Amino acid sequence: MIRPVLLMLIASLACAAVSSARAQETPVPTPVASPAELPATSPTPAPSPTPTPAPPPDVETLVDSLSPADLQEVVSLLKAEFVQPGRLTDQELARASVQGLLARLGTGASLVMAQTAPPDTPVSFLAEILDERIGYLKLGALSAENVQQLDAALDNLRAKSIQSVVLDLRHTPHSGDFDLALEVIRRFAPQGRLLFSLRKPGAKQERMFTSSQEPRFQGLVMILADADTSGAPEVIAGTLRLQARALVIGEPTAGRAVEYSERRLSGGRILRFAIAEAALPEGAPIYPGGVKPDLPVKLDRTLKQQMARQGADKGISQFVFDKDRPRMNEAALVAGTNPELDSIQSARRNGESDTPARIPRDTVLQRAVDLITTITLYETKPGKG
């Protein structure tokens, strides 16, 4: 009786020992700290952007920063120690001085050959009415004859009650005739105004240009100008913007609104340099920065010249407005005709292509027309004023 009981006791103790051993082998879970108990960590700073290095100053800026003593020292050091002393003789230094002066003076001075240039082909005046509501005036060469044609065109526009004008100066060659510029300006500027002046250094008095007559046109004026607009035409653009509230459309002008003097040098070359500059009563000077447009629009120069040649024969409206091709409509059906077929047959009879050629667009003139249309619609809006 004793042995079975003993065996049962031994088995029970063995099971308890195994359970205790397994319990000791079970890992105790590590308590997780709450977010408040976690140590604070600083955020990783974002990498700072690499600064863009400033562009190095150009030679002119560096030279301008030198004092008179520095300038003299540069010349002395180069003359004494430069590897090719023959390039720093007094004659070479004089050449460098003249070259640098002409580069710095820009449009103010130039050295030209003393050969007789062939006379320029005169640019004729052109007047046209766009869309039966806008006068287009290409001034052409600044000449007395073209000013007379301008008068006739303005009288015609007034007779037809046209109140908007585009004055195109892009095809007007360079001119230093400020008296003729005054005559053009007087056609648009109010009477009794100081328009512009010519200033000479050291002169006791400026030459004043004023309006002494009532303008022939008092409506809305748009001026077309570009980098070829040079000299007296620039004064026309700048003065009309100031005195006739005209808007300038296109590109900055050449910045040559000056009176030039030409002196023949003993070697035959000609030195041309500015002796007086045109100045407006108000606003930024015209020389040397030119007249900045109110509405900048670029146009390829070659394309501009191409349209000028074609416009002299067929008008410039073709470069502004799209021409609709004849289409079949109800009236044609009733009449038993076909406008499309008639147009093709007519083109073939005249030796023309029945496929319309792509016509270039004068984007500068188009912007002027769009602006006139917008201003006119606003001013005629019911309840305006």
pLDDT score of 122: 76
Domain ranges of the chain: 76-107, 126-296, 325-358
The one-digit pLDDT tens for each residue of the chain (385 residues) are 444 443 344 445 444 444 444 444 444 445 554 544 545 555 666 667 777 777 888 888 988 898 999 989 988 898 889 998 888 898 998 899 999 999 999 999 999 887 655 556 678 999 999 999 999 999 999 999 999 999 999 999 999 999 999 999 999 999 999 999 999 999 999 999 999 999 888 767 789 999 989 999 999 999 999 999 999 999 999 999 999 999 999 999 999 999 999 999 998 999 999 999 999 987 678 999 999 999 999 999 999 999 999 888 888 999 998 765 555 455 656 666 765 566 556 666 766 555 556 789 999 999 999 999 999 988 776 665 5
Q: What is the 3-state secondary structure (H, E, C) of 307-368?
A: HHHHHHHHCCHHHCCCCCCCCCCHHHHHHCCCHHHHHHHHHHHCCCCCCCCCCCCCHHHHHH
Q: How many CB atoms lie within 10 A of CB 156?
A: 13
Strand, helix or coil for residue 76: helix
Q: How many CB atoms lie within 10 A of CB 122?
A: 12
* CA atoms of 315 and 120, how far apart (whole Å): 23
Joined together, the tokens standing for residue 96 give 């460098």
Q: Which of 309, 325, 323 is nearest to 359 (CA)?
A: 323
Distances from the Cα of 195 to the Cαs of 109, 209, 211, 335, in angstroms?
A: 26, 6, 7, 61
Q: How many CB atoms lie within 10 A of CB 129?
A: 16
Total number of residues shown for the chain? 385
pLDDT score of 236: 98
pLDDT score of 358: 74
pLDDT score of 202: 76
**What are the b/e assignments for 233-246, b being 16+ CB within 10 Å?**
bbbbbbbbbbbbeb
Joined together, the tokens standing for residue 102 give 């002409």
pLDDT score of 25: 45
In degrees rounded to 5, what are phi and psi of residue 4?
Answer: -60, -35
pLDDT score of 285: 81
pLDDT score of 323: 63
Q: Give the DSSP H/E element, type plus range, for residue 277.
A: strand 270-279
Q: Give the DSSP H/E element, type plus range, for residue 209.
A: strand 207-210
Which residues, 6 or more positions from 253, have their beta carbon under 8 angstroms from its beta carbon? 225, 226, 227, 229, 230, 233, 234, 237, 286, 290, 291
Domain range 126-296, CATH architecture: Alpha-Beta Complex (3.90)
Task: Judge if pTM exceeds 0.85.
Answer: no
CA angle 297, 302, 308 (to 5 degrees): 85
pLDDT score of 282: 76
Distances from the Cα of 265 to the Cαs of 26, 107, 259, in angstroms?
A: 111, 19, 19
